[in-house]
Amino acid sequence: MSSWRNLRLKDLCVDGGQYGLNVSAETYVQSGVRLLRTTDISSGVLTPEESGVFVGDVPEARFTLAAGDLLLSRSGTPPGQSYLVRPTDAGMTFAGYLVRFRPRSNVDPRFLAHVARSAPFQHTIQAESVASTIQNFNAERYANIRVAAPDFAQQCRIADFLDAETAKLLRLEKHSCRLTELLEERKSALISACYTFAGEDEAQVVPLRRVVKRWIDYRGATPEKTDSGIPLVTAKNIRDGRIDYEASREYIAEDAYKDWMRRGLPETEDVLLTTEAPLGQVAFISDTSVALAQRVIVLRVHRDICSPEWVYWYLRSPQGQAELELRATGSTALGIKADRLRGVPIPMPTLIESRRRLRSLSTQVAQIEGLHKKLVRQRTLVAERRQALITAAVTGQFDVTTASGRNVSEGVSA
């Protein structure tokens, strides 16, 4: 690396970083100059124009983007998201939570974009982020991040190599995502089939209140929260058929638990249903040492009539979701009232038939979820491989002129 120099980001750019426009949503217009926001670049690929916002004009030339500009996010989860402005993006502008760096003429913008995605660059951001309500990383901090840079010709070779190799990994990632979508479609079809009846399989249709023996409603109640104690399950924690404690970590004090849960203590295999924001997320209670909060209703099933699994899967089925939405109200966020929820129709075959259908559904869903986990693992490996490859190339750990003949994407599989 004798020809490499240790420079600051601002040494490779024409300035020390330009903040974007500070504009409010009230000033957006139907058409005009597209305003790029953090949400538009969060995946490293610009979102479609139809999901974007526009401003009437750009007050100064310094806010107009040019091909090769590098945008970096000041905040977010995490900060440090980046986007390389393409020729087709030229003329757009950018919002205040983004910082624009414009590479010098002797710097390949693609090389700088890959540097921004490398492990050393990202680690510096995470280590130095200013923690407030959200993490923040300002233009000055970005400008002073140290970057190892070779001469222009070598930058171009590295960029060519990484463009080609990361494109292969991106294609693999897209294929994996498409397979996941197909698996979800298959699972939805299987759940729908479980609750479809015709001919000899006709089932009696009854309102939900006939099969639920107890309703424990925690809507409209907000407990005093603490830093530790009994985990609090809110609507934010219920997703994809389970309780996700990582989605939101909130607690109530242990000595306040019994008083708070006076409406009813949870039991194993109680079915949880979110009633708004979002509507229709379902989960089972497996650990009863939890507290329940707003926008959540507990359904305790009458086991002599049907199993909790039958209600759980029905509420997750396309038919059950459609019935919930049909009875929901609200403009900005759909919600369902208790009396309407009790009237949701549910098909009820014999216990023998429902158990047979659930056994078949459980087996097939388990296979799909096993494949889904493998695909998630594959995408994790692809992401790790991509960053390792970028880091090795932009730091000079290997010579891309000798590495370019290898298929560096080999070995990434489910």
Same domain, yes or no, for 145 and 49?
A: yes
Residues 37, 114 within the same domain: yes
Q: Would residue 23 count as lying in a domain? A: yes
List pLDDT tens digits, range 238-259: 999 999 988 888 899 998 888 8
What's the pTM value of the predicted model, to 2 decimals?
0.80
33: containing domain: 5-149
What whole-number distance in Å separates Cα of residue 171 and Cα of residue 183? 18
- Which pLDDT value is given to residue 74? 86
Query: CA 80, CA 9: separation in Å to the nearest integer?
Result: 14
Using alpha carbons only, how large is the chain's radius of gyration in Å? Answer: 27
- Domain tally for the chain? 2
Last residue of a domain, which of 122, 149, 176? 149
Q: What is the crossing angle of helices 152-194 and 318-326, to 10°?
A: 80
- Asked if residue 158 belongs to a domain, the reply is no
At residue 5, the 3 state secondary structure works out as strand
| Same domain? 123 vs 31 | yes
Q: Domain boundary residue among 105, 127, 149? A: 149
The residue with greater pLDDT, 2 or 256, is: 256
Residues 3-21 pLDDT 10s: 899 999 999 999 999 999 9
| Residue 108 belongs to some domain of the structure | yes
Burial class (CB in 10 A: 0-12, 13-18, 19+), 330: exposed
**Residue-wise pLDDT tens digits, 141-190:** 999 999 999 999 999 999 999 999 999 999 999 999 999 999 999 999 99
DSSP string, 249-263: --EE-GGGHHHHGGG
- Dist. CA 370–CA 368, nearest whole Å: 5
Q: Is the pLDDT of residue 130 over 70?
A: no
Q: Percent of the chain, pLDDT > 90?
A: 64
Do the strands 251-252 and 291-292 form a parallel or antiparallel pair, or are they unpaired? unpaired
Q: What is the pLDDT of residues 292-327, one digit of tens each?
A: 887 889 999 999 889 999 999 999 999 999 999 999
Residue 213 tokens read as 């023996």
**What is the model's pLDDT at position 405?**
47
Answer whether residue 95 is part of any domain: yes
Please name which of 216, 220, 251, 257 lies closest in space to residue 237, comparing C-alpha atoms: 251
* Residue 45 covered by a domain: yes
Domain end position, chosen among 285, 304, 338: 338
Q: Are 93 and 223 contained in the same domain? A: no
Look up residue 369 and give its two tokens: 């979820």
What's the pLDDT at 315? 97
- CATH code, 31: 3.90.220.20
User: Tell me, what's the pLDDT at 91?
Assistant: 94
Could you tell me if residue 198 is inside a domain?
A: no
Q: Are residues 216 and 101 in the same domain?
A: no
Q: Which amino acid is at 316?
A: R
User: What is the Cα–Cα distance from 284 to 380, expressed in whole angstroms?
Assistant: 28
pLDDT beyond 50 at 414? no
